[in-house]
Amino acid sequence: MEKTFSRIIIKGGVLSPAELKEIVELAEASGSDSISLGSRQDVLITKAVDVENFSEEDKYQIIPPNTDGAENIVSSYVAADIFPDTPWLTGDRYLYVLEQFRTPPDLKVNITDPKQRVVPLFTGHLNFIASEHEDYWYLYIRLPHWKEMQVYPALIYTWDVGDIVYGIEELLQEEPEEVEMIFNLLSDALETNNRTIDKSLEIPYRPFPYYEGMNKIGMDSYWLGLYWRNNKYYTSFLKAMCDLCAECKIGKISITPWKSLIVKGIPKDAKLEWEKFLGKRGINVRHSMLELNWHIPVDNAEALKLKKYLVSNFDQNDISTYGLTFGIFDSTQESNYFTAVVIEKNEAPQMLKDIRVRDTYNLLYARNFDPNTRDYIMHVQDVDKVELPGLLIELSKMYFDQLGEEEEKPKRKPEPKKEKTSNEIWQCKACLSVYDPEFGDVTQAVSPGTNFQDLPETYNCPLCEASKSEFEKRVQEKVG
């Protein structure tokens, strides 16, 4: 369907209560009594917007309906402190990265923590994923014309993220097909503090979390998740909520890709005041997980109706979907799925365009029911709507049957016992970084197999920039 809403760019899905209140008031000035939330953590106004109403607020970038434009930066700031996280990746670190973006990029950028499950990792063109090394990020690239995702061959330093994004956008006219070309061109154009990748990205599996209601953080504060099943957040409620945030000295409000809001840092002594605030307005903050774990298109009444039908069937059959996520998509549009189970609506055959026919659907599920695998398996094709509940219940049972089991690996013949050997490596005395001739140094275009003695005298440590003379030889045992 056509996009009949205007998008308001909210960098990283994080904004202050004052900014949200301004946006709400601008929406009211355009004749709307509600706003909606987008899957890229942006704000949507589903009625016609008079752009002149926004002209005085140039800090908000507005993308009119049915137009391409700047993309919102997605971040997992929303998950910081309340869901599992990488220790060094604090809320402040996210804000440091977001401040580097002077103008919204045209490419989709994701800045995420691999240990959380609320924000998808791989739905962008440029996906920065936190590593175990403080202030360093993996970068997974899938440009609009690429069919496969490729890994950037070095870790990116926190303060280089913005330069890398803008640098890659400038390279688009070259139509790079391989990540090595991007790496070489950026290495020539930018001075960056890259780090060698010493291990592949590991993404631990965790079930999808419950993200609604009043929940405790530490000993003296709470976070609140707010969800509207119709994705229409009324302006009168939001303005009052922003005022209450100001009274409680709450500085940030976050938007999730699941079209919900999270308010963090509610003081312990204000908890009762917030509960009364919600209760007086009849706000339900304890929806079933059956409701919360769905991704559906914005302002799509047909998809919302299908979701209600399926959720009702789950409820009647007393089915648990804890940890699972579901999405409704249109097979005619290219989608970057980020749910465990995908319900894909088929387009009617061209020859039957003028004849009313019943809709049919495909069901797909992610390998191991983990969207981060980016590998979807077709379960059934061209089934009727009435068949969907039973098939989805079948998939949910498959999910729980395999939950916690290690992925089955192909059996291999026993290998002969390997003997221990040793090899020489060179270690920086200043920061203990290691140069291994077997791997070379991709950050300085040193090919694998290059002996340390053959490195140029200008070679320096990729981490602390110590000179070649600051390296000492070490002997390392290895199995060979």
Range of 60-74, 88-102, 311-325 with top mean pLDDT: 88-102
- Among 118-127, 167-176, 325-334, which is the least confidently predicted range? 325-334
Average pLDDT of span 290-298:
89
Query: How is domain 420-479 classified at the CATH fold level?
Result: Rubrerythrin, domain 2 (2.20.28)
Residue 453 above 70 pLDDT?
A: yes
- Among 68-82, 175-189, 353-367, 388-402, which is the least confidently predicted range? 353-367
**Percent of the chain clearing pLDDT 70 (strictly above):** 88
Residue 10 above 70 pLDDT?
A: yes
- Among 16-20, 161-165, 297-301, 324-328, which is the least confidently predicted range? 297-301
Residue 91 above 90 pLDDT?
A: yes
Average pLDDT of span 289-308:
89
Residue 201 above 80 pLDDT?
A: yes
Task: Please write the tens of the pLDDT for every residue from 173-198.
Answer: 888 899 999 999 999 999 999 999 99
- Predicted confidence band at 225 (pLDDT cuts at 50, 70, 90)? very high
Helices and strands per DSSP (H, E), number in the chain: 9, 24
pLDDT value for 433:
75
- Predicted confidence band at 335 (pLDDT cuts at 50, 70, 90)? low
- Residue 371 or 421, more confident: 371
CA distances from 64 to 7, 48, 146, 238, 314 (A): 7, 9, 27, 23, 38
- Predicted confidence band at 418 (pLDDT cuts at 50, 70, 90)? very low
**Measured on CA atoms in the order 333, 336, 338, 341, is the torsion positive or negative?**
positive
Show Cβ contacts of residue 56 under 8 Å, excluding neighbours closer than 6 positions.
none
- How many Å apart are CA 339 and CA 120, to the nearest integer? 9
Residue 334 above 80 pLDDT?
A: no
Q: Could you give the count of Cα atoms lying within 13 Å of 209 in the half-sphere of its Cβ?
A: 19
pLDDT value for 351:
53
pTM (2 d.p.): 0.80
pLDDT value for 425:
83
Q: Which residue has the tokens 């290998």?
A: 415
**What value does the mean pLDDT of the chain take?**
87
Residue 354 above 60 pLDDT?
A: no
**Percent of the chain clearing pLDDT 90 (strictly above):** 58
CB 254 within 8 A of CB 14: yes
pLDDT value for 127:
98
Residue ranges of domains in the chain: 213-290, 294-402, 420-479
The matching CATH number, chosen from 3.40.50.620, 3.40.50.970, 3.40.50.10310, 3.90.480.10, for 213-290 is 3.90.480.10
Which contacts of 461-464 are long-range, i.e. CB under 8 A and separated by 24 or more positions? 461/428, 461/430, 461/431, 461/433, 462/194, 462/195, 462/196, 462/433, 463/195, 463/428, 463/431, 463/433, 464/428, 464/430, 464/431, 464/433
Task: Please write the tens of the pLDDT for every residue from 30-69.
Answer: 888 999 999 999 999 877 666 565 544 456 788 877 776 6
E-strand stretches of 46-142: 62-63, 74-75, 109-112, 126-130, 136-141
- Residue 89 or 29, more confident: 89
Query: How is domain 294-402 classified at the CATH fold level?
Result: Sulfite Reductase Hemoprotein; domain 1 (3.30.413)
pLDDT value for 1:
40
pLDDT value for 417:
44
- Residue 449 or 415, more confident: 449
Show Cβ contacts of residue 399 under 8 Å, excluding neighbours closer than 6 positions.
323, 324, 340, 369
Helix segments in 357-450, DSSP class H:
388-402
